């Protein structure tokens, strides 16, 4: 597993408080993390990368490096967590997806997915080929092309150009709508449909948000779940086979 060099430019998430550059230099922390990783000091490398992530920097490569460092340090649950975070930003990254699959193969729980209708699965897989920002960029480009085509249709007097403008405009506006829907769907999937990783060795899933609830089943660290509800400090989760139940919020790390 190779680490990646990257620039911490335009990847800052402002958290409402400024970072004292004299006390903390994210560029230097990444550089030190890379050197530690190359020396086989994986836990120390992860600590350096984690400092950067905790400071609000958001980058697929940063999360990828974190996942690699935690994987090499045998902290599989954190490796899965940061690979999943990286995948949200870079869903088509083959090396990332390969490493995520390796980490998931070490998880205790082997849960079968309930298959969706084939065309829904195809649409979802196609949507996930690109990140939200990419779909949004395509939507804007097609919208501009569409307007240009329609302007050509309305303001030219040549029949051939009118026809070309009409069809280019209509097709581009249609594609703009489709790519916008993909962007919106991808955003909803990533943001509104919250997911998390089980972050304790083992947790008993309850039928109700209380210690007195009936024990339903047990999940182990590294398992990915979907959060579908919340009551106080309890989260209602759903696993890929459709089973649902309640666990304490502290047992999860949200992606």
Please state the pTM of the whole predicted model. Answer: 0.73
Q: Once rounded to an integer, what is the mean pLDDT over residues 221-232? A: 94
Residue 20 lies in a domain: no
Does the pLDDT of residue 240 top 50, yes or no?
yes
Of 140, 169, 192, which residue constitutes the final position of a domain?
192
- Predicted confidence at residue 130, as pLDDT, reads 84
Does the pLDDT of residue 232 top 90, yes or no?
yes
To the nearest 10°, the Cα dihedral for 150, 153, 155, 157?
170
**Which pLDDT tens digit goes with each residue over 113-159?**
776 677 777 888 888 888 788 999 999 999 999 999 999 999 998 99
Residue 54 lies in a domain: yes
7: confidence class by pLDDT, cuts 50, 70, 90: low
**57 against 78, higher pLDDT:** 78
What secondary structure does DSSP assign to 219-244, as a single string?
A: EETT-EEEEEEEETTEEEEE-TTS-E
**Same domain? 187 vs 207:** no
**The domain containing residue 156 runs over which residues?**
118-192
Domain count, the chain: 3
**Same domain? 74 vs 92:** yes
Report the 3 state secondary structure along 42-59: HHHHHHHHHHHHHCCECC
**Same domain? 59 vs 36:** yes
**Which pLDDT tens digit goes with each residue over 208-220?**
999 999 999 999 9
- Predicted confidence at residue 192, as pLDDT, reads 61
**Same domain? 141 vs 207:** no
Q: Residue 217: which CATH number?
A: 2.30.30.40
**Mean pLDDT estimate for the chain:** 89
Q: Once rounded to an integer, what is the mean pLDDT over residues 240-244? A: 92
Percent of the chain exceeding pLDDT 90 equals 69
Residue 183 structure tokens = 């962007």
- Predicted confidence at residue 193, as pLDDT, reads 63
To the nearest 10°, the Cα dihedral for 169, 173, 176, 178?
-130
**Which pLDDT tens digit goes with each residue over 12-29?**
444 444 444 456 688 899
Q: Once rounded to an integer, what is the mean pLDDT over residues 41-70? A: 95
* Structural contact between residues 63 and 93, judged by C-beta atoms closer than 8 angstroms: no
**Same domain? 188 vs 199:** no
Percent of the chain exceeding pLDDT 70 equals 90
* Structural contact between residues 121 and 250, judged by C-beta atoms closer than 8 angstroms: no
Of 75, 105, 135, which residue constitutes the final position of a domain?
105
């Amino acid at each position: 597993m190779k680490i990646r060099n990257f620039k911490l430019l335009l990847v800052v998430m402002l958290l409402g408080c400024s970072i004292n550059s004299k006390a903390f230099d994210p560029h230097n922390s990444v550089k030190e993390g890379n050197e530690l990783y190359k020396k086989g000091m994986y836990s120390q490398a992860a600590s350096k990368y984690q400092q950067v992530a905790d400071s609000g920097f958001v980058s697929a490569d940063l999360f990828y490096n974190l996942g690699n460092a935690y994987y090499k340090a045998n902290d599989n649950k954190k490796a899965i967590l940061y690979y999943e975070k990286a995948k949200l930003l870079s869903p088509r990254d083959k090396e990332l997806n390969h490493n995520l699959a390796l980490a998931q193969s070490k998880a205790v729980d082997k849960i079968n997915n309930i298959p969706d209708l084939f065309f829904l699965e195809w649409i979802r897989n196609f949507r996930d080929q690109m990140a939200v920002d990419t779909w949004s960029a395509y939507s804007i480009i097609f919208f501009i092309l569409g307007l240009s085509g329609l302007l050509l249709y309305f303001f030219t007097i040549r029949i051939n150009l009118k026809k070309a403008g009409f069809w280019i405009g209509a097709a581009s506006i249609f594609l703009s709508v489709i790519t916008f829907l993909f962007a919106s769907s991808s955003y909803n999937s990533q943001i509104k449909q919250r997911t998390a990783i089980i972050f304790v060795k083992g947790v008993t899933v309850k039928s109700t948000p209380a210690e007195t609830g009936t024990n339903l089943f047990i999940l182990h660290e590294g398992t990915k779940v979907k959060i579908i509800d919340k009551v106080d400090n309890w989260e209602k989760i759903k696993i890929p086979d459709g089973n649902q139940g309640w666990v304490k919020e502290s047992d999860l790390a949200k992606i």
